[in-house]
Amino acid sequence: MAKKYNADQLTVLQGLEAVRKRPGMYIGGVNSAGLHHCVWEILDNSIDEAMNGHASEITLTLHKSGDTVTISDNGRGIPVDKNKKTGKSGLELVLTELHAGGKFQNDGSGNYKTSGGLHGVGASVVNALSKRLVATVKRDGAEYRMDFAGGLPRTKLLRKKTGEVRGTGTAIEFTPDPKIFPRTTFNPETLETRLETASFLHSGVKMVFADQTTGKRTVFRHENGISDYLGHVRDERKAHPIHDEPFYLSKETADARIELVFQWTESTDEHVRSYVNGITTGAGGSHENGLRAGLNKAIRNYLETHKLTPRGVKITHEDIREGVVGILSVFIADPQFQGQTKDRLNNPEVQSAIDGAVRPALEQWLNSNSSLAEGIVTRIIAASRARAASRAASASVSRKTASSKLTLPGKLSDCTAKKREDTELFIVEGDSAGGSAKQGRKHAFQAILPLRGKVLNTESAGLKKVLDNKELSDLTTALGCGIGPNFDLAKLRYQRIILLADADSDGHHITTLLLTFFFRHMPQLISAGRLYIAMPPLYRVDIGKETFWAADEADRARIMEEHGGGRSAPQITRFKGLGEMMPKTLWDTTLNPDTRRLLRVDITDGLLTDRVMSDLMGKDPSARFRFIMDRAEEAEAVDL
């Protein structure tokens, strides 16, 4: 019998209660990205002060505990006088009420001409998700303080009575609530990178990162703004420029203030970082669309005017933009972001404004620098020819799909299910492990593809070289969805792709090599949530009549602590590899959907992932050396 459903079953969440109940609506989730988004919300408010000429210095302090942050600025200070409508102080209002702030007014008061904090929810959301928040304001010759917990005031607005206070500004200290976030420790590198990026986008503003966990204090200040940033990004990506002078544009239109710099490089991909009012727009939007449209039109007009396109060569937009590394920063009065996380801009008028500004300026730049333009055109034509060759090679591979079983790799043990739903492909390390997996699997829905040893490192490899590699070519054929520009998710032959390697350092290396391949050549698999990593046990622990499986040393220690207090001495077996496991053991621990553990591969920060992949898997060994040296103290043991 159905339960009674009437108006009494409806729930109305009041004030910040909704934020604590559904935090994902406001910060995107309670994972690491959501945790750090709380810092960005407060930091963006300080940046808004600097952006509008009211602050010249911002300091971000990570406290020794690692889970508390203070962001302070020397701006005007949040108002502390009482709001006539609510009877609350301005400080309490912005920290406890959604959609309260000084950025909604269109009355010409000029408090904020442009801003990143637009919805009036950022500070109050952070307050709601903090177990403790302390706000300190200096203004009108006095210092004020107010404490909060879980979004609720814990003290009244207190005024410091001793002497006159110099200067003005706001400091927000907060500690995320562990009841909301599974992990509340901030990543110093993530905080420092964000602060450094802000210093590039707001030239002349002093940004300070004080990391009390290490005692390190770093000051960022870039007078040349995004021009310095371009060099930083280019060096970070090991992208060598093909011309010395970047294209730079600074222009103010009726709809936007535009600042843009980009340069063609020897890299095989396009990399543009875009920002709106200092906010990172990782998902792009109308401003990036305007840049691409203006760039494409300018190049095509230049090619047609000077009759530079060779016969038989078809130049695409991708050819034109291949190797471009650029920074686009726009400031607009009323940006319309897609959601509170502000990762995509939706203003249609910005697209036409940037398109209209870029096209004539870039054409004039090319015409004024003929030798430089000649090198760029040569690079574009070469990209077109290389792309045509890659398309032909890729098409040859992608045609080998499930339509003909004869075309599938001979070492693939396919499943018998005719439909893709609930089918799985396990990519296994070596023939020995592949043999155990083939015997232990369920033939109906589980396929096994063994690979021979460590596959090609594809971080710096072109598509042709990738397809010439037999192991990766077999893998691409087994998947059936094509690769690179010919990728088609609808043709993927399996519901889940699962990487299954040994639980030791060699296995982790093989998994990393495969992740590099998928990230660079089939990223749609990751964004669609189809790629997984299996978690086979490294240890078997027998205590009395009970058997436990440990994924690593820490897991083994936990099992021993929880179950090792009996009379029987524990028997510990370390597996040398998956091939050493009996088929039934492999099924019980790793293949059985009811008992196994899988990690779904996801990307929360595309820019950071791209940089880490480039550092760890790229040709330059110095980046890996720095990575190892910076983290040497974190290693408790090395698996050799």
- Residues catalogued as catalytic: 429, 502, 504, 506
Q: Tokens at residue 453, please? A: 């040893």
Q: Kind of pairing, strands 57-62 and 152-153?
A: unpaired
Nearest to 358 by CA among 436, 428, 440, 292: 292
Measure the CA–CA gap between 585 and 578, rounded to whole angstroms.
10
* CA-to-CA separations, 123 to 21, 191, 202, 421, in angstroms, rounded: 17, 18, 22, 44
Cα-flanking dihedrals φ and ψ of residue 500, to 5°? Answer: -125, 100
SS3 207: strand
Q: Is the Cβ–Cβ distance between 69 and 60 less than 8 Å?
A: yes
Neighbours of 606 (CB within 10 A): 14
Q: What value does the CA radius of gyration of the chain take, rounded to a whole number of Å?
A: 28
Query: What DSSP line would sit under 223-285, residue for residue?
Result: TTTHHHHHHHHHHHTT--BSSSS-EEEEEE-SS-EEEEEEEEBS-SS-EEEEEETTEE-TT-B
Residue 38 is given by DSSP the state H
Triad 428, 434, 440: Cα angle to 5°: 110
- Scored b (16 or more CB within 10 A) or e, 56-69 reads ebbbbbbbeeebbb
Short-list 229, 438, 404, CA closest to 325: 229
Q: Could you give the dihedral angle defined by the CA atoms of residues 156, 160, 161 and 165, in that order, rounded to the nearest 10 degrees?
A: -150
Which of 265, 267, 262 minimizes the C-alpha distance to 288?
262
Cα separation of 256 and 279, whole Å?
Answer: 15
